[in-house]
């Protein structure tokens, strides 16, 4: 038997999902987490994904609330709850273990999101509480230098928008970076000339009080999930508001969280883009994920909605499963589509304390659903 081919076949049929968490009990949810966890996955003979129902500790870390796996390693934030400054950390994979190589202070409070440019030369960091954005120049996986850009102002909601709150970063190209500022109701734009980044005029100004948290992007549109107004706002690629769609029908109270864009096949085998998002309710009945089809003209139509555990943050589509990181449930809650019935039902839970981020570990080809656009948590 050719062992090289056997190893390649196993790589295609096995993989792992990493889970970022809060480790600081002061996060308010009684966390007992020790860091970043791993759940192993495999493709069975029927072509369906099977998951281990027990998470293993992949790396001890403090408040790793956002994960950015890369070939050969992992970037993650140490959000630093209760501290005046957080860190971005790089850990290299050595065998099946991670070894931390460096940690860089982010120049701001509570870093919550990372993005790596297409040429892997630039790493962007969003500092939520202080509202600043840091852009780091890399040489391989080593830090060369960093630029820090402060936030500017808040908006109309005195409880949540008393100042700028950077929440998401996205490289349009290695020369252009967009970031969501939840506090300012803006999408900020940064452009690079040679080795220097500068902030330009905002890419988009969103409705007052909406609180843009993250977005996903197609070849024609951007879909911005707004935490405070609990809706998805569609923009054209010039930053103009086209339309708005409530995440849930009716008058559900709460806040929006994650948004992801997946390429799927419908029951007739036709490919389509589908937006998935999460909603954190004031009551448990408002804790849900929802999906919406992207129509040919770019508008969204509701498809499914499903109850989750308490405080759903991130989600991930894995074959016929939806995994939802439910912070206050202390579990990753799994929903499954029921075959020919075409309906979703709750399935199982994987116990993990204070999970908030889900990401495929690099080094595997097992990714049964194509993800498009920006990545949120």
The per-residue pLDDT for 252 is 75
Q: What average pLDDT does range 113-126 have in this prediction?
A: 98
Closest by CA to 362, choosing from 51, 88, 91, is 91
The per-residue pLDDT for 345 is 80
Say yes or no to pLDDT of 23 above 80: yes
Q: Cα(311)–Cα(280) distance, rounded to whole angstroms?
A: 5
Say yes or no to pLDDT of 1 above 70: no
State pTM to two decimals: 0.93
Q: What average pLDDT does range 140-167 have in this prediction?
A: 97
Q: Cα(335)–Cα(349) distance, rounded to whole angstroms?
A: 9
Q: What average pLDDT does range 223-240 have in this prediction?
A: 98
Say yes or no to pLDDT of 48 above 90: no
Confidence grade of residue 249 (pLDDT, cut at 50, 70, 90):
confident
Q: Which residue has the higher pLDDT, 78 or 265?
A: 78
Say yes or no to pLDDT of 375 above 80: no
Q: State pLDDT tens for residues 251-297.
A: 778 999 999 999 988 777 788 999 999 999 988 778 999 999 999 99
CA distance between the termini of the chain = 43
Q: Which residue has the higher pLDDT, 249 or 207?
A: 207
Say yes or no to pLDDT of 368 above 60: no
The per-residue pLDDT for 344 is 82
Least confident of 110-124, 125-139, 190-204, 261-275: 261-275
Q: Cα separations (Å) of 159 from 165, 211, 222, 229?
A: 12, 12, 27, 14
Confidence grade of residue 31 (pLDDT, cut at 50, 70, 90):
confident
- Contact by Cβ (8 Å): 43, 368: yes
Average pLDDT of the chain? Answer: 91
Q: How many CA atoms lie within 13 A of 165 on its CB side?
A: 23
Q: State pLDDT tens for residues 50-72.
A: 899 999 999 999 999 999 999 99
Q: What average pLDDT does range 114-142 have in this prediction?
A: 98
Say yes or no to pLDDT of 5 above 50: no
Q: State pLDDT tens for residues 184-201.
A: 999 999 999 999 999 999
Dihedral of CA atoms 355, 331, 360, 344 in degrees, nearest 10, equals -130
The per-residue pLDDT for 12 is 58
Q: State pLDDT tens for residues 199-225.
A: 999 999 999 999 999 999 999 999 999
The per-residue pLDDT for 148 is 98
Q: What average pLDDT does range 23-32 have in this prediction?
A: 75
The per-residue pLDDT for 285 is 78
Confidence grade of residue 308 (pLDDT, cut at 50, 70, 90):
very high
- φ, ψ of residue 331 to 5 degrees: the values are -165, 155
The per-residue pLDDT for 7 is 44
Q: State pLDDT tens for residues 336-361.
A: 887 655 678 878 999 999 999 999 99
């Amino acid at each position: 038997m050719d062992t090289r081919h056997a190893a390649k076949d196993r790589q295609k049929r096995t993989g792992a999902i990493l889970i970022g968490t809060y480790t600081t009990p002061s996060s308010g949810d009684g966390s007992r987490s020790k860091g970043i966890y791993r759940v192993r996955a495999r493709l069975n003979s029927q072509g369906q994904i099977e998951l281990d129902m027990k998470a293993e500790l992949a790396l001890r870390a403090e408040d790793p609330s956002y994960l950015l796996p890369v070939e050969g390693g992992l970037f993650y934030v140490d959000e630093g709850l209760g501290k005046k400054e957080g860190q971005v950390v790089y850990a290299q994979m050595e065998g099946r273990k991670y070894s931390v190589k460096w940690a860089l202070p982010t120049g701001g409070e509570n870093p919550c999101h990372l993005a790596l440019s297409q040429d892997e030369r630039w790493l962007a960091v969003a500092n939520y509480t202080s509202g600043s954005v840091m852009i780091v120049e890399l040489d391989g996986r080593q830090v060369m230098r960093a630029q820090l850009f402060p936030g500017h102002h808040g908006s109309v909601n005195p409880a949540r928008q008393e100042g700028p709150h950077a929440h998401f970063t996205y490289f349009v190209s290695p020369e252009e970076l967009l970031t969501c500022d939840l506090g300012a109701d803006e999408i900020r734009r940064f452009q690079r000339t040679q080795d220097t980044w500068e902030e330009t005029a905002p890419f988009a100004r969103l409705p007052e009080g909406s609180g843009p948290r993250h977005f996903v992007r197609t070849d024609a549109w951007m879909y911005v999930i707004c935490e405070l107004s609990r809706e998805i706002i569609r923009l054209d690629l010039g930053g103009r508001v086209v339309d708005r769609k409530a995440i849930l029908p009716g008058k559900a109270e709460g806040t929006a969280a994650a948004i992801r864009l997946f390429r799927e096949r419908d029951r007739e085998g036709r490919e389509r883009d589908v937006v998935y998002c999460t909603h954190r309710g004031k009551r448990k009945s408002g804790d849900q994920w929802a999906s919406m089809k992207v129509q040919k003209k770019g508008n969204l139509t509701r498809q499914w909605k499903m109850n989750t555990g308490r405080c759903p943050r991130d989600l991930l589509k894995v074959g016929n499963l939806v995994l939802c990181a439910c912070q206050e449930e202390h579990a990753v809650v799994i929903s499954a589509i029921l075959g020919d019935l075409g309906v979703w039902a709750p399935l199982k839970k994987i116990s993990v304390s204070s999970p908030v981020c889900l990401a495929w570990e690099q080094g595997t080809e097992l990714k049964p659903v194509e993800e498009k656009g920006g990545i949120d948590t």
